[in-house]
Amino acid sequence: MKTKKLTLLLCTLCFFLAVFTLPAAAKSKSIPKKLFLSRKEILLYVGESKNLWVEKVRPAKASPKVTWKSKKPKIASVSGNGKATAKKPGKTMITAVSRQNPSVKSAIRIIVKKRPKKQKVSLQNIKI
């Protein structure tokens, strides 16, 4: 009889502990309030690629996972993991949007230029 009461008491205690500690554990994951990216502006030449990343997140325990999006994908595109590729000359913005809190965004300005042509240097007409 005593073991049944003790078992029932322990089960009840475990139940209450599980019910009241799970919501506290779920709340411990912070929702991002601000994103800081690797740079504010990048200059790329047509055909070049550059990796972008989230430098910091506020609060610090929040998830740094983001979705990348280019305003003008014909000028510069961006992959899901943050690799920006310059396609043609122009200016665009690439935005990182938090997956946990879509209202939190940060952007990088991308300037794409044509690659300058290489100049040939000749030393034939130089006298020493």
Confidence category of residue 25, pLDDT binned at 50, 70, 90: very low
Confidence category of residue 28, pLDDT binned at 50, 70, 90: very low
- The DSSP code sequence of 31-95 is PP-EEEES-SEEEEETT-EEE--EEEEESTTS---EEEEES-TTTEEE-TTSEEEE-SSEEEEEE
In a domain, 28, yes or no: no
In a domain, 48, yes or no: yes
Mean of pLDDT over the chain? 85
In a domain, 55, yes or no: yes
**pLDDT tens digits for range 56-88:** 888 888 888 999 999 999 999 999 999 999 999
- The whole-number average pLDDT for the span 24-48 is 82
In a domain, 22, yes or no: no
How far the first Cα of the chain sits from its last, in Å, is 112
In a domain, 25, yes or no: no
Domain of 53, CATH number, reads: 2.60.40.1080
In a domain, 30, yes or no: no
User: Omega of the bond prior to 59 within 30 degrees of 0, cis?
Assistant: yes
Q: Is 32 buried (19+), middle (13-18) or exposed (0-12) by CB count in 10 A?
A: buried
pTM of the model: 0.68
Number of domains making up the chain: 1
In a domain, 51, yes or no: yes
Domain residues for the domain of 60 are 37-113
Of 22 and 124, which is predicted with more confidence? 124
In a domain, 21, yes or no: no
